[in-house]
Structure 1
């Protein structure tokens, strides 16, 4: 019995020592990382940084965090920012954001309000700290301007993970549900209220292959570039209208794209009605646009669905037989 008590005391002492050493390293490394960010192109400041949570957690709280971009055009402020990790699993971290955050963009102040917003990340427990997964979720996010205009959603989810069986291919996913546009933007794109006030869903899923794996302790001079982008799903649903796309694009060394994307629009005539109501398409040209689109349709056997292929060759875009100009650079 005495030996057991001694063993427990020794184990508890060793674990306590591990926690306090870990706490010290976390505070020192976080402080050093923030100093390095502030010493670089970006400006960063904060009031306090403390780590608590003995014995099973490392809970770090940063107060009055302020971040400026190099041009000084964007400022971010959070009254508190928290990082949580289990003491026996420090390679998995949860970040919790405050319910109100502030963005100043070119002097215009926006407030991001959420019921709950948090992010999580996991790296491999090795010297390189190779990226595994990252997720950010926001419950009922609302972006509000000083004038009161508001972009609101029921939920927002963004996630990225290393694809199984690969070393530098990542699955990137974004989904926003029940989107309500600011009233002035709504009037601009739908002045006659032809569509319902809520956009049901916006979703994007893709596989991205990089030129090098993402490693937190990797070579800082190595900047990973996109080698291929495969859109496995793009979907937008608004009322009876829906838009979907799938395809692959590949940039060259200068970011010039080659590839193709198949685009399908259901009840697309409603989108044409919106274009007419906003003046983008003259009312007397509606029939002409309708006929051209029907002649280009790759699935004429599917009623109310328009399918076209966006081809990109040496950076030049063609939608069916219609030239659209230069595609954006991907690097």
Structure 2
């Protein structure tokens, strides 16, 4: 009996200690969340109608009422009626984010509704004051984007994304680097003639500043210093395209460098590019002749087309194909 009483007291003492740990952790987490919300609100990055904390004894479940994330420049806004941030009590630096089946987006002044059957993200940060991002993942099942009047704009079977801290790149040894992955499956849209069977991205980007909690204190998000495009693959109605290369933005935000496009269906791609107005009609014959010549140099008949990015434009050899996209 004496041994049993001792065991009971030990269990009670440990339970009390754990309950105290949870209470202290919950108080610290709530205080940190409230302070972060104040910073986010002050910097113009978003807001929430309120927050509550539950989950004892094994989790910290933070619920945000009417959360909103906004680009300070006004180009982007996300809203939802509710969202949750969930963490195990013994691993508070790794959280799971849950969003409801219906959300609101505003892009470039246009309003959209985003629906899904499941949307979850996980984020892991470092255990220090700055809370630097270690890795994050996002999975959205059956996402569908509709306009303000309910007209379907796009939908897909699945969208997956990931970002993780990566070793510094040789081109920018002093800049924080992140590996980015993306996969989109079975995407359709009335704006596309054919569905996209698969779109995948594997890239490493070096930024001007790390991704940490100090982002909420600045009006200007980190800018890319270098992009290593390891693999961009697109299967669009049987037209397959692989893109690889290196790009470095100049002071004005225009990419400089080279990308290599690889495709066996290059004639179909040239026809599509011409139909979309990406290739001037006057350049089509020259581009076809050059592509034919390059494809004949490949034993498998696959076209490997090097494109140079310079002076704000895209060039195939001396031939200007059009303007390059500006990154900021």
Is residue 122 from structure 1 mapped to residue 130 from structure 2 by the alignment?
Answer: no
Range with greater deviation from structure 2 (134-143 or 68-77): 68-77
Counterpart in the other structure of 1:173? 181
Q: In angstroms, what is the RMSD of aligned CA positions?
A: 3.2
Listed one character per residue, the Cα deviations across residues 288-327 of structure 1 (whole Å, up to 9, x for unaligned) are 6532432355844332x32111123465532233124554
Listed one character per residue, the Cα deviations across residues 82-139 of structure 1 (whole Å, up to 9, x for unaligned) are 0100000000000001000012446643110101001101112233323211011100
Is 1:310–1:317's contact at 8 Å kept on the other side of the alignment?
yes
Q: Which runs of 5+ in 2 are unaligned?
A: 170-174
Q: TM-score normalised to the size of structure 1?
A: 0.83
Is residue 307 from structure 1 mapped to residue 304 from structure 2 by the alignment?
Answer: yes
Counterpart in the other structure of 2:213? 216
Counterpart in the other structure of 1:193? none
Counterpart in the other structure of 1:9? 12
Counterpart in the other structure of 1:247? 245
SS at match of 2:66: strand
Is 1:179–1:200's contact at 8 Å kept on the other side of the alignment?
yes
Looking at structure 2, the residues matched to 281 and 323 of structure 1 have their Cα atoms a distance apart, in angstroms, of 10
Looking at structure 2, the residues matched to 278 and 250 of structure 1 have their Cα atoms a distance apart, in angstroms, of 27
Counterpart in the other structure of 2:289? 291
Is 2:279–2:322's contact at 8 Å kept on the other side of the alignment?
no
CA 1:32–1:205 in structure 2 vs 1: closer, same or farther (change >3 Å)?
A: same
SS at match of 1:90: coil
CA 1:27–1:278 in structure 2 vs 1: closer, same or farther (change >3 Å)?
A: closer
CA 1:223–1:45 in structure 2 vs 1: closer, same or farther (change >3 Å)?
A: closer
SS at match of 1:98: coil
CA 1:201–1:96 in structure 2 vs 1: closer, same or farther (change >3 Å)?
A: same
Q: Which runs of 5+ in 1 are unaligned?
A: 191-196
Listed one character per residue, the Cα deviations across residues 203-244 of structure 1 (whole Å, up to 9, x for unaligned) are 111112335543336995797543321111001001221111
- In the alignment, which of 305, 319, 322 is matched to residue 322 of structure 1? 319
- In the alignment, which of 268, 271, 274 is matched to residue 269 of structure 2? 271
- In the alignment, which of 97, 100, 103 is matched to residue 98 of structure 1? 100
Counterpart in the other structure of 1:194? none
Q: TM-score normalised to the size of structure 2?
A: 0.83
